[in-house]
């Protein structure tokens, strides 16, 4: 019988989500619920580049985390595009 993490991971993957987010924390499918205390208010979201605000990462972010989880896929894609453009221009 699957445990809670397995059930959540399966749901997220089957529905095209990349992780969970709520308030000031988030987690990716690859490292789901690292706190071992799932919040019933967590929502599914999409992984995008860290933009220093807007989305959420594991803790409060000053623009230096690996990714954010966004509630809106368009926001996640926009953050990825902004990061790629910034890297391209140097």
- Greatest Cα pair distance in the chain: 51
pTM for the predicted model, two decimal places: 0.84
pLDDT tens digits for 4-53?
999 999 999 999 999 998 877 889 999 999 888 878 999 999 999 886 65
Helix then strand count (H, E) for the chain reads: 2, 4
CA distances 75 to 40, 45, 55, 90, Å, are 24, 10, 8, 22
pLDDT tens digits for 57-79?
544 566 667 788 889 999 999 98
Residue 19, CA atoms < 13 Å, CB-side half-sphere? 24
DSSP class of 73: H
Q: Number of structural domains, the chain?
A: 1
Which domain does 76 fall in, by range? 4-89
């Amino acid at each position: 019988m699957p445990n809670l993490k397995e059930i959540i991971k399966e749901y997220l993957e089957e529905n095209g989500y990349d992780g969970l987010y709520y308030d000031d924390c988030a987690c990716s499918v690859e490292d789901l619920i690292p706190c071992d205390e799932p919040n019933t208010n967590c929502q599914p979201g999409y992984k995008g580049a860290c933009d220093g605000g807007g989305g959420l990462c594991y803790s409060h972010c000053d623009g230096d985390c690996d990714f954010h989880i966004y509630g809106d896929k368009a926001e996640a894609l926009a953050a990825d595009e902004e990061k790629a453009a910034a890297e391209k221009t140097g």
